[in-house]
Structure 1
């Protein structure tokens, strides 16, 4: 165990500023060494704000100049996640990466193989697993209280919440897609994890692009990314789908950046033979029967925290040998395989086997 882990940052945009920087800067076992971002002024500004000694515009230069690094935190656009992570793993660094793991199954497989070969820890952000309600539900299910979970649905839908319109978020070459890969990775992961990680065997999906012309926003999440009035919008703004698993269970999904609904909401709803439950807006309810009486249960849980800090702390604990990884490279590969298959089904109009 090291007293201090020397950390490099790859990507100094909003996700680093909002969800990573404060947590890492306050951790007693983290020492910022360098930050890189292709926009030099942004890298310099973050270096000055957080007391980071060195800044670069190229992550390769950062890796070359700082062999003393122990780990890297990747907050770059989706397209670059796997390239940066593989380079860092090959340099002998532990890697924490923002979601998604990669933008194609081939890249996700390359990443998982690099992690196995390096012997270093690779972990991708799955912050929602660490929210108090989800942690409670995982224990509830593991204890057998829900019985056999056989079906459910999950989603994150927004009325008007397109992030960084015209920037990398809405440019497929850089992002890999729209809300399915941006938001779907969160709650498909939670649902499958709570279901006991059954193996997906087929998917059917559909995607829609209907709001490319809108400039309205009612979501704080639209502030992520940098907007460009002359930029590209070639991704979906809504995706729906249906996943079938090897144990007979099924999962319906819906993810949107923009659609004509009442309000923004993320949710997981699963149904078991002994109990079902919902997770909405950070809270959970359980629906069951006790002594022949139908009962609704509302657990009193800690205040919702969205889990970003808790996941970063978990990564540090794992690197320091105090804990075992809750999220593995195999989880990332399976997720990207699911998302890719849904996009392929949407393109062809056919069911895709996995």
Structure 2
């Protein structure tokens, strides 16, 4: 590949793009951010003026018509992820998209098929895989120290942390759902990745909306998205569920934007035949046996960011042919199948079989 820089165009320039994606693109010496697009063109123009980016668009189709762009970065509301991704792939661009992959399994499949047909790289944000503690745990599992990882639990539960209340986050048509699709992607992906990406075969779940009227917040994450006092709140604020996999493994899940708990907690726990672990708010503990003695081990792992930048840099390395992708589109299809089926299970009150 030519040593010239890869040209990047970004679609969606809200808080997630500005706070997470933009710094990573600016730091990567292999790319040049040359175009921005947002339906609120003033927002895009402000960033363009600050960063010296000359081209700004209101319609992503006009951006995709350019033949000099190599990469499209997507940070739109969830509803538009698949639409923009498929169009970008079909126009010959690589795609890096903010999570979740899509708002339905059908749309996730369309994205995966477009990537396969185009031969271009499609990657969706899985930043937690790139955290130092996650990299350590993945190596620990792959070297056989856990034995068979057969069950576990994961979640991200907040006391009060509803993002962009009344905006697109809480509008089901635009977001696809509440904390299950917003936070579930992160922790379910991490747990399933540690388990070796087994195929999900069935799920059951329940969702609740109990805090739509609250104005309280104790979470920095509630600052994402634009609030709208006159807007819509038709998504859940808490979801619970249970996932079965083809290899017999199972996973319990819980995600909330608001619930009466002590404090906000992110967690993944797995039980294996040789060892288990608890990863709770970045604190890792291993539970195993050494020389016939039960042992608790607490590795000392330095914290290093939240993984977003490393995920984007990895994507660039994959596009440049320097690395194999840690995330593949089929992972995204399985993820959205799980989330969609949990919503369906909650609606019907029964376990849903995945096909």
SS in 1 for 2:48: helix
Equivalent position of 2:107 in the other structure? 107
Q: Moved runs in structure 1, 4+ residues, more than 3 A? A: none
Give 1:277-316 correspondences, 5 Å limit: 277-316=277-316
Structure 1 position 58, deviation (Å)? 0.8
1:111 partner SS = helix
The CA distance in 1 between the partners of 2:220 and 2:52, in whole Å, is: 28
CA shift, 1:23, in A, is 1.4
Cα-to-partner distance string for 1:126-165 (whole Å, 9 max, x where unaligned): 0001111111111101000001111100000000000000
Counterpart-to-counterpart distance in 1, 2:70 and 2:247: 41
TM-superposed deviation, 1:11 = 0.4
Which string of whole-angstrom CA distances, capped at 9 and with x for unpartnered residues, describes residues 221-272 of structure 1? 0000000000000000000000011111110000000001100010100000
- Superposed counterparts of 1:1-354, under 5 Å: 1-3=1-3, 4-64=5-65, 66-354=66-354
Q: Is the 8 A contact 2:133 2:303 kept in 1?
A: no
Give the SS at the match of 1:314.
helix
Counterpart-to-counterpart distance in 1, 2:313 and 2:119 = 20
Structure 1: segments with no counterpart, 5+ residues: none
Q: CA deviation at 1:305?
A: 1.6
User: For 2:252, what is the secondary structure of its paired residue?
Assistant: strand
Could you report, residue by residue, the CA deviation over 1:151-205 in whole angstroms, capped at 9, with x for unpaired residues?
Answer: 1000000000000000000000000000000000111001011011111111110
- Secondary structure, aligned partner of 1:295: strand
Q: CA deviation at 1:46?
A: 1.2
Distance 1:31 1:112 in 2: 26
Superposition CA RMSD, Å? 0.8
Deviates more, 1:278-287 or 1:112-121: 278-287
Contact 1:2 1:320 (8 Å CA) reproduced: no
State the distance in 1 between where 2:310 and 2:284 align: 19
Q: Take 1:189 and 1:122, find their aligned partners in 2: how far apart are those partners?
A: 17
| Of 167-176 and 295-304, the range deviating more from structure 2 | 295-304
Aligned length: 353
What CA distance in whole angstroms lies between the structure 2 residues aligned with 1:155 and 1:88? 33
Tell me by how many angstroms 1:286 deviates: 0.4
CA pair 340-239 structure 1, distance change in 2 beyond 3 A: same
Tell me, what secondary structure is at the counterpart of 1:113? helix
Alpha-carbon distance between aligned partners in 1 of 2:298 and 2:305, rounded to the nearest angstrom? 18
Output the CA distance in 2 between the equivalents of 1:241 and 1:49: 44
**Residue deviations 1:12-47 (CA, integer Å, cap 9, x gap):** 000001111111112111111100000011010111
Residue 101 of structure 1: how far off its partner (Å): 0.7
Secondary structure of 2:212's partner? coil
Unaligned runs of 5+ in 2: none
What CA distance in whole angstroms lies between the structure 2 residues aligned with 1:88 and 1:199? 28
Mapped to 2, the partners of 1:22 and 1:348 lie a distance apart of 43
Shift of 1:53: 1.3
Give 3-state SS (helix, strand or coil) of 1:185's partner. Answer: helix
CA distance in 2, matches of 1:304, 1:159: 25
2: CA distance, partners of 1:145 / 1:40: 52
